[in-house]
Structure 1
């Protein structure tokens, strides 16, 4: 993707304007829309030169029902989706599909029948034909479905199990193809680390994550590489399921911004879990910034009236202390906001920067458009659109936060958090039109 024309001077100008209120925020957003190139446009044009032979893709899912992640991602690979306001049809053929669960509302058999997709029962059957690997890429979409929850309130999704089965096939035939893993790599940080190591050992591309880093931002801000962040926060509010489900999205929102700081990602020193009054007390003690929290909340159109402490009955927070001294925090404030928003403090800059990471509502859930766009680019090139180490780090932070909550330890420091990498120059978030205007 082309990098937006976003100078440091203009970035800092937007930073100063960010706190001036909703009217100024609208002006900033409109100026950005007018002056920045729409990110995917050049790549859409480049697609015209793609070879006529479509990518052959295998989909391995937990469940294929209305609004499941597999429904949204595989559905877009088959049906196409809007990009820059126009229909984009992927040069992809989903050839085989496996669903781990088949509930009463299962749409998998009908979908496969209607679109000429073979519905399989094993991973080997899904990837091989006549004993040969005849797919160009694999999407592993293990999200949603009926799975047990452990004592740390982590859903035991079998992502690692299915990844191992995929790798077993790769080893058997002596060849591998790119693999995309939806959301975090695993609820267990050791499994996540093993997945990354295995991909490097066998030399196949591995990309993972959710829509948050690449969805639309309001206003459209992308901190330049080398930004001197001292602190960042993400706020959201969801109570659908265990906290792990949406805290992963919050950590991705936080990480895709703070990883652009000077020196790149240096890894994490410790992770802290807080809930109830302990969240407010930590703010009063200066462990996180009230100013940044307020700035992030006010980017949300759902921002509730009334005092925060009066509205929010049971706040939850994950605090992240990075090795280089940068601080991060993610807050679940169910009664105060529903969107995801980020605010960050830059050294020697008076006012913070902030943005809402916009997620268009279901049933269309258009935030899967940018994610699927990047999956396409990845499957064709074999090169991850952003480092898998980001997802490994957010998966690891989340695992230790869940452990801290369950074990009543509050703060955990562990060498497994020392994951270092460099952010790509362009974060690849979508700009421009959201709806299909063609």
Structure 2
């Protein structure tokens, strides 16, 4: 299998470095060292900042670095010469729009690949790192291109496929009454990770995903007021916090355990809380709480009908520089390239694109609740969760 890589940058700890290096030298997964049968044969990088590794990696591992996407896909020839494409549009110097979204050229890179597919009469699988695009409209076009030309698209974050503590898999076709996710970091990079982690859990509910009816993003003291008013569940927040390995405050200072929520310490630690309030078309309520300052990990909780206590887990993220959770995603990319079938649908990433963009529009428009008829996205997630287990 021959692989072309299309990246914004290729430098130390960039997403391109994390993913491509695993195809070049292998990666640890499920208790063994795996070497991919897929060989990187070409690379295009949009920017070459200080610390660029693209030329050195190409020289060391024997692949060409090309000046355009079409040349990378054709390996300098006249016809498509690869069996798969990685699009890694993360990191680099790009402008932001009025919503604060970095306008990485993932859509434009994808469209250039599609142009080659159409011109050469052959299509190959594409992995697109993280968001399909900052724009839901563009994300829809990308997914539609895959369906139209018949090539699989895998997209998204490492969180849905990393290990879970404990190893929680919601029953397929379960009845979820409410869900809550806690996350940390900035927008629109880290809230995307948290939203997709939550989506991979709640898409398993009865009937599958049927779309989003409305969203609202609120901030500051209104977040805590919304909890008091029952707009999000304090019991689910308690369950999610119980899975955190990184509570701050007194725990961080002298090691004592503490009830962050019950003691009121959470409200003191989190200076700028944000709540992403999501109402789905089938009636499910889901909330993402971004609580920088209280924890530094990502945790999920849900109330299932017929069960007295919530279920919950942490999405486990291993430390740099190895970030071995990336290996979990590379294994799934490898699986798609080998089988020609994406292990989970790109519609998952597409709907998260739309949820995030709509939440940011709510914030930009004065934190108003927005109806989202355009997010009438229906799909069924896979019966197997595909997260790391061994």
Q: Is 2:3 aligned against 1:57?
A: yes
Partner of 2:87: 140
Partner of 2:248: 304
Residue 350 of structure 1 and its aligned partner are, at CA, apart by 0.5
Q: Is 2:368 aligned against 1:422?
A: no
Distance 1:237 1:132 in 2: 45
Distance 1:104 1:168 in 2: 31
Partner of 2:98: 151
Deviations 1:168-222 (A, max 9, x none): 1111111110111000100011000011111111111111011000000000010
Distance 2:85 2:164 in 1: 29
Q: Is 2:24 aligned against 1:66?
A: no
Residue 409 of structure 1 and its aligned partner are, at CA, apart by 4.3
Helix, strand or coil at the partner of 1:380? helix
Distance 1:83 1:254 in 2: 23
Alignment of 1:160-239 (within 5 A): 160-238=107-185
**Aligned with residue 362 of structure 2, among 404, 420, 426:** 404
Distance 1:102 1:63 in 2: 6
Partner of 2:289: 331
Residue 322 of structure 1 and its aligned partner are, at CA, apart by 0.6
Indicate if the aligned counterparts of 2:218 and 2:367 stay in contact, CA closer than 8 A.
Answer: no
Residue 251 of structure 1 and its aligned partner are, at CA, apart by 0.5
Residue 227 of structure 1 and its aligned partner are, at CA, apart by 1.0
**Aligned with residue 352 of structure 2, among 394, 397, 419:** 394
Residue 361 of structure 1 and its aligned partner are, at CA, apart by 0.7
Alignment of 1:352-367 (within 5 A): 352-367=310-325
- Structure 1 unaligned blocks of 5 or more: 1-54, 433-438
Indicate if the aligned counterparts of 2:216 and 2:362 stay in contact, CA closer than 8 A.
Answer: yes
Helix, strand or coil at the partner of 2:9? coil
Distance 1:89 1:361 in 2: 22
Residue 145 of structure 1 and its aligned partner are, at CA, apart by 0.9
Q: Is 2:334 aligned against 1:376?
A: yes
Distance 1:382 1:408 in 2: 45
Distance 2:124 2:373 in 1: 31
TM-score (norm 2): 0.95
Helix, strand or coil at the partner of 2:189? helix
Equivalences, count: 375
**Aligned with residue 280 of structure 2, among 292, 301, 322:** 322
Question: RMSD over aligned Cα, in angstroms?
Answer: 1.0
Helix, strand or coil at the partner of 2:355? helix
Helix, strand or coil at the partner of 1:133? coil
Helix, strand or coil at the partner of 2:276? strand
Partner of 2:256: none
Residue 359 of structure 1 and its aligned partner are, at CA, apart by 0.4
Residue 275 of structure 1 and its aligned partner are, at CA, apart by 0.7
Residue 414 of structure 1 and its aligned partner are, at CA, apart by 2.1
TM-score (norm 1): 0.84
Partner of 1:7: none
Helix, strand or coil at the partner of 1:318? strand
Residue 321 of structure 1 and its aligned partner are, at CA, apart by 0.4
Q: Is 2:68 aligned against 1:110?
A: no
Helix, strand or coil at the partner of 1:132? coil
**Aligned with residue 204 of structure 2, among 260, 276, 286:** 260
Deviations 1:329-350 (A, max 9, x none): 1111011111111000011211
**Aligned with residue 188 of structure 2, among 220, 236, 244:** 244
- Structure 2 unaligned blocks of 5 or more: 250-259
Which deviates the most, 109-118 or 411-420? 411-420
Indicate if the aligned counterparts of 2:184 and 2:191 stay in contact, CA closer than 8 A.
Answer: no
